[in-house]
Amino acid sequence: MSPLDANGLSVDYSGYIATYSGQIIEPLNPDPEAILIEDIAHSLSQQCRFTGHTKMFYSVGQHSVLASGYVEDEKYRLWALLHDATEAYLADMARPIKHQPGFGDVYRKAEDLLMKAIIDRFGLTDERPMPEAVQKIDNLLLGAEIKLLMPSHVIFEGWEMSSKLSKYDFEEWTPMETEAEFLAIYTELGGSYVSS
C-alpha cells in the first residue's frame, strides 16, 4: 500500500484518473493523445443533466447527440457533439456554481485547459468556449429540456420549447443507446475508434 498524504490520499495518486478504456489522464494537465472518443461517449452517456434533478434520466450524451443533429451549420456537427466533452473528465457543474466568482473560476480554468486538449485531439476550430452556432443550439436545447424534463418553477420562467425541436427527441434513452448513437455520429463524421 502506498503512503498517504496529510489528507489521507495516496501520494502516488498525483491527480490522474483512470478512464473506461483503461487510459490514465491528468485532467488538470491533459495530454490530447490520452483523450479517446470511447471514453467521452461512455462517460457522457451515464451522466445526467441538471445534476440529476430531471423527471427521468436524460444524459449529457443524449444532449450532445441532439446538439450535433440540430446544429444548423454542418461544419460544426463534431464541435456540437463534443461541446460538453470536458465533463467526461471533470464531471458537470451546475451553472450557478460554475459561474460563482472564486470557486467557479478554478473549474472554468480547468475546463478551458481540457477543452483546448480536446480541440487539439479532434481537430476542432479553436473557438472557446464554443462556436456561436453551437451555443445557439445548446441554448435551444436547454429551453426544451427545462420545459420537458424539469419540474415547473419560477426560476425557469421565460424558457420556451423551440418549434425547431421535436419533443420525441427528449424521451428517455438508455446509456447504452446513447453511447452507441454518439459513436455512430462520430463515425459518420469521419472519425474512427477501436471498439471495445
Sign of CA dihedral 96, 102, 104, 108: positive
- Determine the average pLDDT of the residues in 145-163: 87
pLDDT at 166 > cutoff 70: yes
Residue 25 has what DSSP assignment?
Answer: E
Q: Which three cell numbers stand for residue 7?
A: 489528507
Q: Count Cα atoms within 13 angstroms, Cβ side, for 15.
A: 7
Q: Where are the domains of the chain?
A: 36-188
Output the pLDDT for position 152. Answer: 86
Rounded CA-CA distance 164/4 in Å is 54
pTM, two decimal places = 0.89
Which among 92, 57, 85 is positioned nearest to 174, based on CA atoms? 57
Question: Superfamily assignment of 36-188 in CATH?
Answer: Hypothetical protein af1432 (1.10.3210.10)
Cell of 77: 456537427
- Which range is least confidently modeled, 47-51, 163-167, 177-181? 163-167
Among 5-9, 55-59, 93-97, 192-196, the least confident range: 5-9
Cα gap 160→142, rounded to integer Å: 9
pLDDT in tens, 46-98: 999 999 999 999 999 999 999 999 999 999 999 999 999 999 999 988 888 88
Which residue, among 184, 147, 179, 189, has the nearest Cα to 21 in the 3D structure?
179
Q: How far apart are CA 182 and CA 145, in angstroms?
A: 19
The three-point CA angle 9-14-18 to 5° equals 95
Residue 11's pLDDT is 59
